[in-house]
Structure 1
Amino acid sequence: MFTNASYRSSFDSTLAEESPPPYELIESLTEQDKADLVISAQSVDSISSIESLPKIGDLNFTPGKRLIINAVGIGWLRLPVPSGELEIAISDPEGNLAYISKRSKRWSGNSVLLDSRYKQVLRTTYFFGPSRNPRLDVIGSDLVGARIGEEIKTTTKWTSRSHCFVMLTGEAFEWSYDNEVLNSSSENKKSLVILRTKPADGSEGKKVAQLVRTKVTRPRGSGKSSAGNGGELVLAKGAEEIIDPAIVVASCLLMLKKEVDRRRAIQIMIMMAPVAAA
């Protein structure tokens, strides 16, 4: 019989370097958290048409600086291991390197963002699982909206599809999802990951940037159901006056990491289901 102990033994050999092991983190979730996780891990291409309606405020978005995030992400049919992409290049539309995100090893979520001169800009400290918020640290030089040595705090629940971070100045920003259908063909659906300011009064913030993921902008090797895949990152005109592009890039990559780990969590739950039923 395939017992819970034998399952864990075989799983530990695969995920030996993550502590605590992912299955323990999944087991610690409440049933409501698990339900939220299933909902949040759905493909951005399957969001309901009601959620997909563009916001009125978005009509005022004027595109400015454009960058290409070359992250392939992960698919469904795989073991629930971290992404093997240790380096993610971020380039301009002409293919010139703008930034590069590096991880030292596959089993670590921590990464460093370097600029085109390979100078360290931001460090991301990232954890798999709930109750352990990631953080961004400015390690290179002063940036627009943040100074060297400052920590940019993140405050969003692990199972959430949104991601909020707060600057030391108190300025808050939030990444969230949206979809737009360009025409009736599903191949022309445009999935967006949108960064907005987050006003303290709860009103809708100003759009600062958006990650556009379409059949055209998706990196080679990724698909519309991939989790954590990149695309075209478009900053609003004038956005660089309130937030540094490096912070936009690093926080966007953090959002993609969360997307990958929600997918991994569902894969772990699927693998654990036969054991729980035995």
Structure 2
Amino acid sequence: MLTPLTGPHDPRFQESEAAHILERAAELQRLASDARRMSVGELEEAAAVAGIDASFVRRAAGEMALRQAGRERATPTLGAPRTLVLEVVLDGEIPVRAYEYVIEAIRRHTGELGVASLIGRSLTWTALPKHGPAGPRWSRTIALTVVPHGGRTRVRIEEKLDHLVRGVFGAAAGSGSGGALLSTLPLAALSTSLALALALPLTAAACVGAWIVARQVYRARVDARARELDGAMQAISTIAQNYAKARALARATPKAS
């Protein structure tokens, strides 16, 4: 245990050293706070005492993860995040033989084809950009990683939304400029100075209106994709829970002599 540095012979620190000490103290506090966080399994145990089914705990945890992802990564200009990230640590290790069910879960909920690779016992699955049901323009960039270690499994699903941003806001830019052009056609009969004075506000209004509509469309599509990823995460959590229960039952069942 460290001896407290107090008393008549307290050490003195330079400004740079003091800054480093404070930075390290903040890091230690953050680590201590992280250590007090409850896993989904611990939440399920606490809920069981109150008579709450574990499936509702997993659903509520997934919804909270979605809200945190949106709150932490939301882009004000777009009205929704550019990246969706869901990450949970599940009690129990998902065995390699169950990865086919994990892959089927992510495929079923997203509708995307993908390719899987295995490094040791860690699974990585990524969607194939040009083979999605919506076509290359709306292709999805999804990555799933499953890492079992130390009696737990870390599952992370990430989707980058760059294609969606370009598709929605690119269409908005085209419709906004087209609407602005149409709105200025009746001004052609006016004098040049007057037509210019009226055309600028009309063009700006058309572009702003198109961007507002695009934000609403983008937010709705991001929410829909987030629900799909959440459904996949819930399905994977159920797979992990089923295998954990099976292992616990196998350990509890006495072997025949």
TM-score (norm 2): 0.30
Larger helix percent:
2
Larger Rg: 2
TM-score (norm 1): 0.28
Larger strand percent:
1
